[in-house]
Amino acid sequence: MSATALALLFVAAVVGVMGTIGPDARWLGALGRMIAHDGIPRGVPFAGAPSASWPNVPALAELVFSGLLGAFGDRGLLLAQLVAVTFGLLVLSRDARSAGAGDAAVAASIYVLVPAALLALVGIKAQLFSLALFPLLAALLRAETRAPSRRIWLLVPLVALWSNLHGAVLLGLAVALVYLGLHRLRRRPLESVFVGAAATLALCATPALERTPRYYLGVAGSEAAKRGYGLWAPLSPTSGFDLLLAAGAVVLAVALTRARPPAWELVAAALLAGLTVHTARNGIWLLLFLAPRAAVAVRARGRPGPAVAGVAALLLAGALVAGLVRGPLSVGARAPLIQAAIAEARGGPILAESAPAEQIVAAGGRVWISNPLDAFDRADQGAYIDWLQGKAGGDRLLNRARVVVSSADSPSGRRLGRDPRFRIAATGASYRVFVRRG
């Protein structure tokens, strides 16, 4: 077994054992069920806060999540994450080998990438589609750098498909435009301009059509993005995972510069690095972009012996199978507490923290507001974040709620525990159901 194959099996085992469904996943399946039965709804029907003007761009992703959950339950999402990660890293490996990297060097780059990108690799959420498509786009651009051809037009359908699945298409398009503008434009000016324009227009090949830019502007200009909250948090020196990300990126970046890449790759890497500092979750795209070129500069040689490789492969395969049989881990409340909250609400909307809010929606209940947070009015977004942070600004939503789900040790839960207007109706391992008195 090659060193690269063993590395890919290692990543698959890590995903299988540690794959976790968290916030920003279950709402896709809930909307997908509605689309499958009644077509694309206006706004977010399972939320009480107004959202009718929201353009539903990722409808295809919602249908895919709904189909996976309907056919295989939560295990379907784990399988999708596993396929996406494996496919993306397989493309990354072929990209590196095409550039001249050796087998052991490719494996070394993957082993550096795994701890640095651990949260993105094992966290099952909407971005799983981009884990497969971003390496594909980078490989296409590097192949065109080596030998320009008409294959560059594949960028257009790739962007169109990606736009229907996940918002990281904007970063992919930005990297493509850097390549077209700094490298290809001098050699094939008309073709570069037409491909860039067509790829940009392809962003709008979604059910929202001309309203698609409004969706992306809403995501980038959301209250969470403005405050750097949650998934929009900047790179932090106090976060262990962020330090691992930064360390891995530095190692790969140093190797990339030694490989003497073309100027467009340096500019694209600098762009992705800046976006990572601004929003840490963008680090996965930086790592996936750096790794193939970095492998070219690595001098690692050799491969594991047959006996060692065989034993390691059996252990990793066993871990992978055990993870798939068990199913994914899940962040949030336990099912009985979710059902208790829905019963207490009697069909009304529930104010809940992000993870249980999506669980409530998946179980057929209603919430005041949840992901996709950018679908709602900015004032409601701000009030929800204030409530999550235990600030008085969240009372705007709390005053309208009859049933609330909050964890005992969160800012919102601690503040709610001191509020005489509410009593505890149900308690779980981490979460509580609060009901307004009277």
Q: What is the sign of the dihedral through the CA atoms of 179, 181, 183 and 184?
A: positive
Torsion sign over Cα 231, 410, 242, 88: negative
Torsions phi, psi for 370 (to 5 deg): -165, -170
**Is 290:270 a contact under the CB 8 Å cutoff?**
no
3-class SS of residue 351:
strand
Give burial (CB, 10 Å; 0-12/13-18/19+) of 94: middle
**Helix ranges (DSSP H) in 148-262:** 155-163, 169-179, 189-202, 212-220, 223-227, 240-258
Residue whose pair of structure tokens reads 């100027």 in the numeric block: 263
What type of residue is 150? R
Exposure class string for 324-338: b at 16+ Cβ within 10 A, else e: beebbbbbbbeeebb
Closest among 369, 362, 360 to 339, alpha carbons compared: 360
Rounded CA gap, 43 and 56, in Å? 7
Check residue 211 and give its pLDDT: 96
Q: Are residues 48 and 368 in contact, defined by beta-carbon separation less than 8 angstroms? A: yes
pLDDT at 114 (0 to 100): 96
Q: Which residues pair with 20 in a beta bridge?
A: 123, 329
User: For the whole prediction, is pTM greater than 0.85?
Assistant: yes
- DSSP β-bridge partners for residue 47: 367
Buried b (16+ CB within 10 A) or exposed e, 377-402: eeebbbbbbbbbeeeeebeebbeebe
Instruction: Please give the angle made by the CA atoms of 143, 149 and 153, to the nearest 5 degrees.
Output: 90
E strand map for 12-57: 20-21
> Could you write out the DSSP letters of every residue in 109-161?
HHHHHHHHTHHHHHEESTTHHHHHHHHHHHHHHHHHHHS--GGGGGHHHHHHH
Q: Are 22 and 128 in contact (CB under 8 A)?
A: no
Q: Residue 217 has which token pair?
A: 């502007």
- CB-CB neighbours of 159 under 10 Å: 23
Instruction: Collect the ranges in the chain with pLDDT lower than 50.
Output: none
pLDDT of 356-389, one tens digit each?
999 999 999 999 999 999 999 999 999 999 999 9
Residues 197, 63: Cα–Cα separation, whole Å: 29
Please give the Cα distance from 238 to 374 (Å, whole number). 28
In degrees, rounded to 5, the angle at the alpha carbon of residue 221 between the alpha carbons of residues 170 and 230 is 90
Please tell me the predicted confidence (pLDDT) of residue 306: 79
